[in-house]
Structure 1
Amino acid sequence: MASHGILYGVGVGPGDPELLTLKAVRHIEEADVIAYLAGESGQSQAKQIAQVALDRRQPELDDIVIGMPMSTQRDAANEAYDQGVTLIACALEQGLDVAFLCEGDPLFFGSFAYVMERLIHRFKVQVIPGISSVHAAASALQHPLTVLKESFCVMSGRHTHEQLSDALKRHDSVVIMKAGRARPKILQALRETQREADAQYLEHIGRDNERIERNVSQLADDNGPYFSLFVITRQERGTR
């Protein structure tokens, strides 16, 4: 293994390039090969966020681009990961260090987790943490996620209506990530649990098209963008 390259999972943060850590920038600049996911249009959010660091590189090798179909079917996604991992493994076997760019934090709802699980038993892996969209949302709202003894829960829009409703009833603070197609279901759960007034909504945090909606009753009851989330906290926080 000593002659193999190292796989770095590099968190590039939620969208604002200035939120890249110094360590992330260094590993991007020093890596032999850069890898990242790209959508069906060929665009990569992670690459766009890290572009300032990428511009400082003098690349000698092509990037490894993993085309990811926007589908709820995991078979297609797993096939894409398998193909990308084959290319990454080939580079690592040649002694090349690979930096895999991942939005937010690599191991918090991060795509790098699926790459790492396929390679960690064969190669050395290091993870460079990044700022998550959850913490960026709290900063954008200038609103604490939790205080004192409040309970806190992070969920995905992929959870069922029943699971979302249960979390909203049980926890003081709830963040629902990857709202996108689940936005109608989330709005319904907020209304049914009487947490609508506690909720705030964000899209594309830290990017030019950032949107913040503090009154979620104003949201259209239809699908939103993939990069969106809800932050739900108690209005009256008192001295819990």
Structure 2
Amino acid sequence: MSIAEEQGTTTKGTLYGVGVGPGDPELITLKALRVIRDVPVLAWPAPLEGESMARTIAADHLDGHHKEIPIRMPMEVARFPAQQVYDTAAVEIAAELDKGHDVAVLCEGDPFFYGSFMYLFGRIAEDYPVQVVPGVSSLMATAAAIGSPLASRNDVMTVMPGPIEEDLLERRLTQVESAAIIKVGRHLPKIRRVIERLDLMNEARYISHATMENQVVSSLSEVDLEKAPYFSMILVHKRGEAWK
């Protein structure tokens, strides 16, 4: 029993946002691994049905001692009911923190690079200590997988979500030397139309499931999919290679 418990008081637990990388379990950082092993409570995002990718990445390092909090939500852009899911998860996590239990939220890639952890952070950070453990993001993983640097020298690089409007995607792509288009999914046909109009098909590379066993790397011109997987990205460099 701790001194705080003997005195009838409880120190609030710490919330950790832990990046577990893009898919390869060996890309979990040493710090992330230490936190995962030390905390008594794990929370992880997941679709309404099926496995959590974040938990799957960390699974080999789990020994069964954790209490686990699944955060299941529809994988869609709509704010509701996802926001209600975050509200409920924040309450459940806060209850553990109030007991003095540290909680680690497992995050695919990096917690603050388009990560859902930010929504828990916004609900919890004002009342509890929070630490963010950076992770290898999908952006870095895709560049390594295709064997091509993202940008160099004075290149302007932009990250663009696939769901944005077609005309906006085209305007932004005309203004940069390098771009990463994420969240491709069902937006692949639209993205291909834009890249074709800008005559950049030869400079565009497609990758899905970076660092995973089912990783696919291809030039965009060779991709024959009307709908790309959720874990896919398109990298474009107008010079073809950043070092040119």
| TM-score past 0.5 threshold | yes
Distance 1:58 1:236 in 2: 48
| Offset of residue 221 of structure 1 | 5.1
Structure 2, gaps ≥5 residues long: 1-8
Q: 1:47 aligns with which of 55, 65, 71?
A: 55
Structure 1 letter corresponding to 2:239: Q
Conserved 8 A contact 1:14-1:136: yes
2:230 is equivalent to residue 218 of structure 1:
no
Distance 1:176 1:29 in 2: 34
Deviations 1:127-158 (A, max 9, x none): 00000010011111110100111111111112
2:140 is equivalent to residue 135 of structure 1:
yes
Structure 1, gaps ≥5 residues long: none
Deviations 1:44-68 (A, max 9, x none): 00000111222xx341x53000111
Q: Output the aligned Cα RMSD.
A: 1.7
Deviations 1:190-213 (A, max 9, x none): 111111111000101111111111
Structure 2 letter corresponding to 1:126: Q
Distance 2:51 2:127 in 1: 30
Point out the more displaced range, 70-79 or 186-195.
70-79
Runs of 4+ residues over 4 Å off in structure 1 = 236-240
Conserved 8 A contact 2:149-2:242: no
SS at match of 1:85: helix
Q: 1:21 aligns with which of 29, 32, 35?
A: 29
Structure 2 letter corresponding to 1:224: A
Structure 2 letter corresponding to 1:19: L
Structure 2 letter corresponding to 1:15: G
Distance 1:92 1:177 in 2: 34
2:114 is equivalent to residue 106 of structure 1:
no
Conserved 8 A contact 2:33-2:61: yes
Which residue of structure 1 lines up, in the alignment, with residue 160 of structure 2? 155
Which residue of structure 2 lines up, in the alignment, with residue 3 of structure 1? 11
Deviations 1:101-151 (A, max 9, x none): 000000001111111011001100000000001001111111010011111
Q: How many equivalent pairs are there?
A: 236
Distance 1:35 1:106 in 2: 13
Which residue of structure 1 lines up, in the alignment, with residue 46 of structure 2? 38
Distance 2:243 2:75 in 1: 44
- Structure 1 residues 23, 239: closer, same or farther in 2, change over 3 A? closer
| Offset of residue 72 of structure 1 | 2.9
Structure 1 letter corresponding to 2:15: L
Q: 1:169 aligns with which of 144, 169, 174?
A: 174
Distance 2:212 2:44 in 1: 19
SS at match of 1:74: coil
Superposition TM-score, scaled by structure 2 size: 0.92
Distance 1:152 1:125 in 2: 30
- Structure 1 residues 186, 3: closer, same or farther in 2, change over 3 A? same
